[in-house]
């Protein structure tokens, strides 16, 4: 049997195929009109076999969450999810109580795909809407059009899905004239159970990164970025959503259980190009190229690109960062004086809620998350840095 607390109870599986790469995307994806489903299944199941052997898992992992992301999982052939579950059975099992999420793009999430996934046991959909503004969709390279998310949501509901998350991107260039408030309203008319926000960034490997570097595009400034984030917080919480993590909002009981594994520092397994796994204290990540990944597994080699052992200094920073990023907060039960001084200062600035036993950031504080986490980690280690 996999040993107690060291055995992952969460599994991420990456699908690296997209019809085209979006302008902002630097994920491990390969553009293709038709996903090579059979070859992908062989590869990820092969990797799971190799990982199980390497980690000494002599019985199937008992999973609480499974997340199939991408890329575009909805590009896979009908039958792919049922086959994936069947072929992973010697190495990992999950029942109907587990949260099984699949990401979908509106243009490829058809009624047939929805029914097929639901029959396989998928019970949660993450729908990549991003925006409902036609010029912004074209600029991004998105193919589904303004009405695509509504068609996809209708397909999900018809198939019996009662847990659907919608992804939105904020902080778009001002020149696109996207109305962020209108996008939030449009998303709410879909009646999702969950909303995830992503602030637009210019990653160097993405087309957008090149455009910004060459001076052909300008991102939203800090004030616009902050205003849009805070507007989302106001609109979504007013609609009954709990802002439970810096970028995530869920109706009661609809928080992402899989993502919660990442935020608590628990172990998780991962398969596919570019996928990151965590077997404390070991963190590792796979090669990003689909061809290199497929060939490595076919040759009987783990497709690992690199790995690191998380040392005590890194663990201290991660404890602060993970604790602050959710509304569960960072416990002050055994806090040093420097941590308590920080808590007092942050509350005075409106960056943290007034709570004597826990340090919980406000939406304004979450805008400063990375900076505040560094200061808190330093305070926890005996430093005296104060964020001002």
In terms of DSSP bridges, do strands 124-130 and 194-199 run parallel, antiparallel, or are they unpaired?
A: unpaired
Residues 6+ apart with CB under 8 A from 270: 11, 12, 13, 14, 276, 277, 286
176-214 core/surface letters (b: 16 or more CB in 10 A; e: else): bebebeebbebbbebebbbbbbebbebeeebbbbebbee
The answer to whether 333 and 357 are in contact (CB under 8 A) is yes
pLDDT per residue as tens digits for the range 164-173? 999 999 999 9
Taking residue 223's Cβ as centre, other Cβ atoms within 10 Å add up to: 8
Q: What tokens were used for 331?
A: 């416990």
Rounded to an integer, what distance in angstroms lies between the CA atom of residue 128 and that of residue 106? Answer: 7
Q: What is the pLDDT along the chain (388 residues), one digit of tens a residue?
A: 344 447 999 999 999 999 888 888 888 888 898 999 999 999 999 999 999 999 999 999 999 999 999 999 999 999 999 999 999 999 999 999 999 999 999 999 999 999 999 999 999 999 999 999 999 999 998 888 899 999 999 999 999 999 999 999 999 999 999 999 999 999 999 999 999 999 999 888 889 999 999 999 999 999 999 999 999 999 999 999 999 999 999 999 999 999 999 999 999 999 999 999 999 999 999 999 999 999 999 999 999 999 999 998 898 899 999 999 999 999 999 899 999 999 999 999 999 999 879 999 999 999 999 999 999 999 998 754 444 4
Residues 6+ apart with CB under 8 A from 31: 17, 18, 19, 20, 21
In terms of DSSP bridges, do strands 194-199 and 242-245 run parallel, antiparallel, or are they unpaired?
A: unpaired
User: pTM for the complete prediction?
Assistant: 0.94
My answer on whether omega of the bond before 343 falls inside 30° of 0, hence cis, is no
Longest dimension (CA), the chain: 59
Domains in the chain, CATH or no CATH each: 7-264 (3.20.20.70), 313-380 (1.10.10)
Rounded to an integer, what distance in angstroms lies between the CA atom of residue 66 and that of residue 60? Answer: 14
The answer to whether 176 and 135 are in contact (CB under 8 A) is yes
Rounded to an integer, what distance in angstroms lies between the CA atom of residue 386 and that of residue 274? Answer: 37
Q: How many CA atoms does the CB half-sphere of 121 hold within 13 Å?
A: 19
The answer to whether the Cα torsion of 148, 154, 160, 164 is positive or negative is positive
């Amino acid at each position: 049997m996999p040993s107690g607390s060291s055995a992952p109870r969460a599994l991420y599986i990456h699908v690296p195929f997209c019809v085209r790469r979006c302008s902002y995307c630097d994920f491990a994806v390969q553009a293709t009109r038709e996903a090579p489903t059979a070859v992908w299944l062989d590869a990820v199941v092969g990797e799971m076999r190799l990982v199980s052997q390497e980690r000494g898992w002599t019985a199937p992992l008992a999973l609480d969450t499974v997340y199939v992301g991408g890329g575009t999982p909805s590009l896979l052939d009908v039958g792919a999810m049922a086959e994936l579950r069947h072929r992973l059975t010697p190495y990992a099992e999950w029942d109907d109580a587990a949260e099984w999420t699949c990401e979908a793009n509106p243009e490829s999430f058809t009624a047939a795909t929805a029914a097929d996934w639901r029959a396989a046991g998928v019970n949660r959909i993450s729908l990549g809407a991003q925006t409902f503004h036609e010029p912004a969709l074209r600029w991004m390279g998105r193919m589904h059009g303004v009405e695509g998310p509504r068609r996809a949501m209708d397909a999900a509901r018809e198939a019996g899905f009662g847990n659907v998350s919608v992804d939105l991107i904020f902080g778009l260039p001002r020149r696109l004239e996207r109305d962020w408030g209108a996008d939030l309203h449009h998303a709410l008319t879909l009646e999702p159970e969950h909303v995830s926000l992503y602030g637009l960034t210019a990653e160097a490997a993405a087309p957008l990164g090149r455009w910004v570097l060459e001076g052909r595009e300008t991102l939203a400034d800090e004030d616009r970025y902050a205003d849009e984030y805070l507007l989302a917080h106001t609109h979504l919480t007013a609609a009954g959503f709990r802002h439970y993590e810096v970028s995530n909002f869920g109706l009661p009981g609809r928080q992402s259980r899989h993502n919660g594994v990442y935020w608590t520092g628990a172990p998780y397994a991962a398969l596919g190009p570019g996928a990151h796994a965590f077997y404390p204290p070991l963190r590792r990540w796979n090669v990003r190229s689909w061809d290199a990944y497929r060939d490595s597994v076919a040759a009987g080699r783990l497709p690992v690109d690199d790995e690191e052992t998380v040392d005590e200094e890194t663990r201290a920073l991660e404890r602060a960062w993970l604790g602050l990023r959710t509304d569960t907060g960072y416990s002050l039960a055994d806090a040093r004086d420097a941590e308590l001084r920080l808590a007092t200062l942050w509350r005075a600035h409106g960056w943290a809620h007034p709570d004597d036993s826990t340090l919980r950031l406000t939406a304004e504080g979450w805008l400063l998350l990375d900076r505040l986490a560094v200061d808190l980690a330093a305070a926890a280690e005996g430093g005296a840095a104060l964020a001002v």
